[in-house]
């Protein structure tokens, strides 16, 4: 990675986990909800929409959790060094 790589996160299945780990490169990795996704990513703050990985070794662990209506939404449950914006 040299520039910015944007990853679109689509809807998950309840209980599904996904790990993003920055292992090589020097650019920015941005993870955001895909335009066609309906479940979304739950992030703190009303204007935050992206999870950012900026350097080797950074990671984020996401888990799809039932939103109470039977639809899965992504929550951050762990990680190292990531930021949100």
The residues pairing with 74 across neighbouring beta strands, listed in sequence order, are 41, 64
Across the range 50-78, mean pLDDT stands at 95
**What local confidence, expressed as pLDDT, does residue 74 receive?**
95
Average pLDDT over residues 6-14: 95
How high is the pLDDT of residue 37?
87
Q: How far apart are CA 85 and CA 31, in angstroms?
A: 10
Residue 34 in tokens: 């895909």
Task: Look at residue 40 in the predicted model and tell me its pLDDT.
Answer: 86
pLDDT-derived band at 6 (thresholds 50, 70, 90) equals: very high
Distance of CA 42 to the CA centre of its chain: 9
pLDDT above 70: residue 1: no
Measured in degrees and rounded to the nearest 5, phi and psi for residue 60 equal: -145, 140
């Amino acid at each position: 990675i040299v520039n910015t790589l944007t990853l679109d996160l689509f809807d998950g299945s309840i209980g599904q986990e996904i790990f993003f780990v920055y292992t090589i490169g020097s650019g920015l990795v941005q993870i955001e909800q895909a335009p066609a996704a309906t479940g979304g990513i739950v992030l703190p703050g009303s204007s935050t929409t992206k999870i950012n990985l900026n350097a080797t070794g950074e990671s984020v662990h996401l888990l799809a959790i039932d939103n109470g209506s039977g639809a899965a939404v992504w929550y951050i449950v762990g990680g190292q060094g990531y930021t949100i914006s």
